[in-house]
Amino acid sequence: MGPLAWIVIITAIAGVGGTGLGGLIAVFFRRDSSRIVSLLLAFAGGIMCGVVSFDMIPGAMLPEGASESVSVFFVMSGVMLGYMVIWLLNYWIDNKTNHELEHIDADHPKTADDLDELIHADHYARHEHESEDGGPANPYQLFIAGVVMACAIALHNMPEGMVIGASYAGDPAAGAFGGSGMVMAVIIGLHNIPEGMAVAVPLISGGQKRWKAMLITAASGAPTILGALLGYCLGTLSPMWLALSLSFAAGAMYYVVFGELMPEAILMWRSKLPALATVAGILIGLMIIYV
């Protein structure tokens, strides 16, 4: 098979498989492993940070096929563009979902300090018993919240797919199973698991059949494939497009690491171990690139 076919398959596993696995966990398993999830998020964030810093940004500075280095300001602009796009998408997701999920009381934290808060399961458990106006529970509200979350996550997954595609375009000699492309696919797949849980929980609470909730959840990861194809195709147009794709992808991943993974990991387990897991992940990322 050609490189595009492998990119589609690998990205489908990361996108559809990652969110689908999150839906499966929400359907069949208990959500009481905050410490394990904290370490996994921190470790994944460290690997992602290492690959971005030691591979993607250097690749954007001197892209494949270029005769000279790209301006550092061009790369910086691409990084900020990628960061802002993901930040705006997450801001939109919060605005579209939080109005469905009133905080339980005045002291309830607005950040995810356990796994149930990360996937909004605590809010949904409350809404299963009473509606926002204090009346009887309204499963329809939960279902609509799940659909909105699924659409938002689907939109959010497209630029994440571009990260995978750009990584493959930046290192074509590594093949389908080598280099930063495969690493990014694995890490984004892990990152998609709690997102899949966040989609499945309200759908199931809203009365959707479990198998349908899992299908909707898995489908929300499909745009990752489109993003990967776009990132790869843009990256192969010219060295400048490759530099833009890699720097954009780097900025997007910096937001995912420092705006999502690390805060969630530390809040879920207020310990020194998430920081240690992050450093270990960075070193593993360094080893993946240079060994």
Nearest to 264 by CA among 113, 144, 129, 143: 113
| Neighbour count for residue 68 (Cβ, 10 Å) | 7
Q: Using CA of residue 15, residue 16, residue 19, residue 21, what is the dihedral sign?
A: negative
Q: What range does the domain containing 125 cover?
A: 3-290
Give the Cα separation of 247 and 269 in Å (integer). Answer: 32
Give the Cα separation of 9 and 177 in Å (integer). Answer: 11
* Average pLDDT of the residues in 215-240: 91
**pLDDT(77) > 70:** yes
Q: What integer pLDDT is reported at residue 102 of this predicted model?
A: 54
Q: What integer pLDDT is reported at residue 3 of this predicted model?
A: 79
Q: What integer pLDDT is reported at residue 138 of this predicted model?
A: 60
Q: Which residue has the tokens 């899992």?
A: 214
Q: Which of 121-125, 210-214, 284-288 has the lowest mean pLDDT?
A: 121-125
H or E element in which residue 230 lies: helix 223-235
**pLDDT(127) > 70:** no
Give the Cα separation of 93 and 148 in Å (integer). Answer: 8
Q: What integer pLDDT is reported at residue 229 of this predicted model?
A: 93
* Average pLDDT of the residues in 168-174: 82
Amino acid (one-letter) located at 8: V
Q: What integer pLDDT is reported at residue 153 of this predicted model?
A: 80
Q: Which of 25-29, 112-116, 188-192, 194-198 has the lowest mean pLDDT?
A: 112-116
Helix (H, G, I), strand (E, B) or coil at 80: helix
* Average pLDDT of the residues in 46-60: 91
Confidence of residue 290 (pLDDT cuts 50, 70, 90): confident
**pLDDT(101) > 60:** no
Confidence of residue 62 (pLDDT cuts 50, 70, 90): confident
**pLDDT(265) > 90:** no
Enter the tokens of residue 76.
């910086």
Q: What is the DSSP letter of 73?
A: H
Residues 6+ apart with CB under 8 A from 79: 57, 247, 248, 250, 251, 254
Indicate the Cα dihedral angle 232, 233, 238, 240, nearest 10°: -60
Q: Which of 18-22, 34-38, 209-213 has the lowest mean pLDDT?
A: 34-38
Enter the tokens of residue 219.
């489908």
Q: Which of 39-43, 153-157, 166-170, 212-216 has the lowest mean pLDDT?
A: 153-157
Number of domains composing the chain = 1
